Structure 1
């Protein structure tokens, strides 16, 4: 379902309808879920009305007999661990409270899971000049994050010894689809295409590109000094710096086993494989 009607999406010999709904109208959503006997809702909502629309989506599902599973819009780094530092991620918390309440009320008939994938590997494709280099982005917005291979620069939070989890967007889709076929869900389903320290990343990037990178390692004090004192000015800059702080403070550290890789038969691409494909 989408905010607007669209043509069928075709991929790998299969297709899916795109049905327009009003995300602020619970009945509009309920009718579609009921008509197609939907049992699993996977939310990828963002932007305007994020808190309200996810709640309405959940409530619409709960009024449909076939519905039994919900995935909130996470798909990055565990929001509960980073919200003390990353203010924007606080909007992800209300739906988690609602999901836990529903689970208490319906322990035998309802499941939810928070699916996390770390950083999208596709951001490493920014600036690729190959003839089909745009495909490196995997339909994501194109911008560099921490590492800019086109300029051979690395802007690293901390001393570089913190690990970073990477998963290619296309593999995130494969993992998520495979998770829907599991008989039972854990509260957290974590995936990874690769896990490296940022210093290991620098060495790998230099190997693939065949040149040294210009590397800046940012201390906690330097990150704090760059942050704006106003919430309205430099909002996105602060968001970027807050995530740097989260890395430095250990909020992005791997805190539990990466379980989804073991639960499903998906073989994700590694960072080395991705880099060799697009930058080798």
Structure 2
């Protein structure tokens, strides 16, 4: 396959920044790299976009909800990478439809990064999954578009795993306070992905497309229990930490309350409950299928978390 011409949506967002950085790092594997951004983002993130421009990335400005703007941006492009955030996931549906009706667009990688939305029969009923499920349905209805789903499990970098969460009812590892709140009994295994690895997974999927296409790729950096994570924090800080546990039943109660009262952590509590129930575990991971075996380790992720928390 000839080198792809890429267009990235959500390139400067929370996970999009990592994905874009890894694509730029691997630019020798691609022909053209462009990002689609709004005029407001062009102004608000001028420095970030300027840095991308200096790396040879094309910056295309427009309104993601306007077909004319998007179809114009599709010119000369054959591969779409979406990293749109959870709040605008449904905006991908028209993008998928417009891409399918544009002959030069061959591949679409949707914003799937995170929890597996088709892990089991109950997954279809989980509230945070609904918009992503609609995007999958839209992709499956396309005529000529190839696609793949990069499923990574929870990000190791976010506060409720390797960070100090402001609201610890969803779990926390607080380096400055030497305090951990562990979910479940602390012995349940969770597969995590470092955000930089998420970007690498996208690159590997694109460069191993014949293996990736049509699949929900189950990818992760490492698997560990909350107690193993805590032990690594204690080893690297040289201190014993104060530890509390939130049982699965307590977590479910917090989750129900959060949804009932429209609290801001409702989505994250549902995801944390899914992970605590084992919803990130598989018989095998697909990393090696796309050449993505070299990933951040538990020790490396904890080291980064300690550095980040102490820098605040």
Q: Which residue of 2 aligns with 1:32?
A: 73
Deviations 1:218-269 (A, max 9, x none): 223212333454746243232233223213333x231252213442256222
Change (3 A) 1:63 1:75: same
Q: Single out whichever of 23-32 and 268-277 deviates more from structure 2.
A: 268-277
Return the match for 2:234 from 180, 191, 206: 206
Residue correspondence of structure 1 range 113-124 to structure 2 within 5 A: 113-123=148-158
Contact persistence 1:41–1:71 (CA under 8 A): yes
SS at match of 2:285: coil
More off after superposition, 39-48 vs 199-208? 39-48
Residue 57 of structure 1: how far off its partner (Å): 1.0
Unaligned runs of 5+ in 2: 1-35, 308-312
- Which residue of 1 is the match for residue 281 of structure 2? 254
What is the TM-score when the length of structure 1 is the normalising length? 0.79
Structure 1 residues without counterparts, runs of 5 or longer: 128-140
Distance 1:22 1:167 in 2: 31
Bigger helix share = 2
TM-score, normalisation: structure 2 = 0.71
CA distance in 2, matches of 1:111, 1:249: 33
Distance 1:85 1:98 in 2: 18
Question: How big is the shift at 1:176?
Answer: 0.9
Q: Flag the 1:188–1:206 CA change in 2: closer, same or farther, 3 A.
A: same
Pairing 1:41–2:68 present: no
Q: How many residues align?
A: 258
Question: Is 1:56 aligned with 2:94?
Answer: yes
Partner of 2:264: 236
1:77 to 112, 115, 127: 115
Number of the residue aligned with 1:138: none
Q: Aligned-residue CA RMSD in angstroms?
A: 3.0
CA distance in 1, matches of 2:277, 2:305: 32
Rounded Cα–Cα distance in structure 1 between residues aligned with 2:196 and 2:216 = 20
State the distance in 2 between where 1:238 and 1:16 align: 37
Shift of 1:214: 2.2
